[in-house]
């Protein structure tokens, strides 16, 4: 797929895909409290979603000229998980940060660079490797397996979009960004949008 051109969204099939993902993920979380199983099985569900690029409404795929955008697509009624689209313009990225909950990241368009960090005994941070995720690929984060990273658009000429799933309402969780010396600065990210896609209108069918 040419990542420069967004494919047309199919109103029925598109939102049905996202609705099905949300429903299946909720059922997974209902059936287990184990993070390992949630990440392993959830990664398969997310990979299936991001391997089909006909569902993300255009309103939640818009880049900003100055910084990356984080759009909420769905939040579970009990805030057990949230689904977010991240839109990265060329050269855009995050500071080093944590999540404080489990997370899954799948690339829908373009590619995304993730630089992992671990703590030294003195509390400072050490670079622990770089991964580049391409369209359809998924990775996991959590305090158990590694939770501190820096993310950026791996494409130099166009936007990239990744779909993130977190074990909570990520826009409301108090987290931290970090300097390399380990000093933390608290933040709550919020979201770029004030309205959500309507996943539950079944009047339009594919």
In a domain, 107, yes or no: yes
Structural domains counted in the chain: 1
Please report which confidence band the pLDDT of residue 202 belongs to, taking 50, 70 and 90 as the band edges: confident
pTM tops 0.85, yes or no: yes
- Residue 119 scores a pLDDT above 90: yes
Please report which confidence band the pLDDT of residue 74 belongs to, taking 50, 70 and 90 as the band edges: very high
What is the average pLDDT score of the chain? 93
Return left, alpha or beta for 163; rule: phi > 0 is left, psi -120 to 50 is alpha, else beta.
beta
In a domain, 61, yes or no: yes
**Across 45-63, average pLDDT:** 96
> What is the SS3 assignment for 56?
coil
Higher pLDDT, 13 or 140: 140
- Rounded CA gap, 108 and 87, in Å? 10
- Residue 190 scores a pLDDT above 70: yes
In a domain, 194, yes or no: no
- State CA 200 to chain mean position distance: 22
CATH number, residue 133? 2.60.120.10
Q: Which residues are CB-contacts of 48 (< 8 A; sequence separation ≥ 6)? A: 21
Q: In the prediction, which pLDDT does 159 show?
A: 96
Secondary structure letter of residue 137 according to DSSP? -
In a domain, 202, yes or no: no
| Domain boundaries, position 182 | 11-187
Q: In the prediction, which pLDDT does 11 show?
A: 55
Please report which confidence band the pLDDT of residue 2 belongs to, taking 50, 70 and 90 as the band edges: very low
- Checking 11-15 for CB contacts under 8 A at 24+ apart, the result is 11/204, 12/204, 12/205, 12/206, 13/54, 13/55, 13/206, 14/54, 14/55, 14/56, 14/57, 15/55, 15/57, 15/197, 15/198, 15/199, 15/201, 15/204
Q: In the prediction, which pLDDT does 146 show?
A: 95
Q: In the prediction, which pLDDT does 203 show?
A: 78
Secondary structure letter of residue 17 according to DSSP? H
Does residue 99 have a known ligand-binding role? yes
In a domain, 198, yes or no: no
Q: In the prediction, which pLDDT does 14 show?
A: 76
Q: How do residues 153-181 score in pLDDT, each as one tens digit?
A: 999 999 999 999 999 999 999 999 999 99
**Across 132-157, average pLDDT:** 96
Higher pLDDT, 192 or 1: 192
């Amino acid at each position: 797929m040419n990542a420069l051109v967004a494919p047309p969204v199919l109103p029925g099939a598109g939102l049905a895909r996202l609705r099905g993902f949300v429903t299946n993920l909720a059922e997974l979380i209902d059936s287990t409290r184990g993070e390992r199983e949630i990440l392993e099985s959830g990664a398969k569900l997310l990979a299936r979603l991001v391997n089909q690029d006909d569902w993300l409404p255009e309103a939640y795929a818009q880049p900003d000229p100055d910084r990356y955008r984080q759009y909420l697509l769905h939040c579970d009624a009990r805030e057990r998980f949230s689904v977010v689209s991240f839109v990265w313009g060329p050269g855009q990225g995050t500071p080093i940060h944590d999540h404080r909950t489990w997370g899954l990241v799948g690339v829908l368009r373009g590619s995304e660079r993730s630089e992992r960090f671990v703590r030294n005994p003195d509390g400072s941070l050490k670079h622990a490797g770089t991964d580049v995720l391409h369209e359809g690929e998924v990775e996991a984060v959590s305090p158990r397996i590694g939770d501190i990273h820096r993310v950026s658009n791996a494409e130099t000429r166009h936007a990239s979009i990744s779909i993130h799933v977190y074990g909570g309402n990520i826009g409301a969780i108090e987290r931290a960004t970090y300097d390399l010396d380990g000093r933390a600065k608290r933040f709550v990210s919020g979201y770029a949008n004030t309205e959500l896609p309507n996943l539950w209108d079944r009047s339009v069918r594919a």
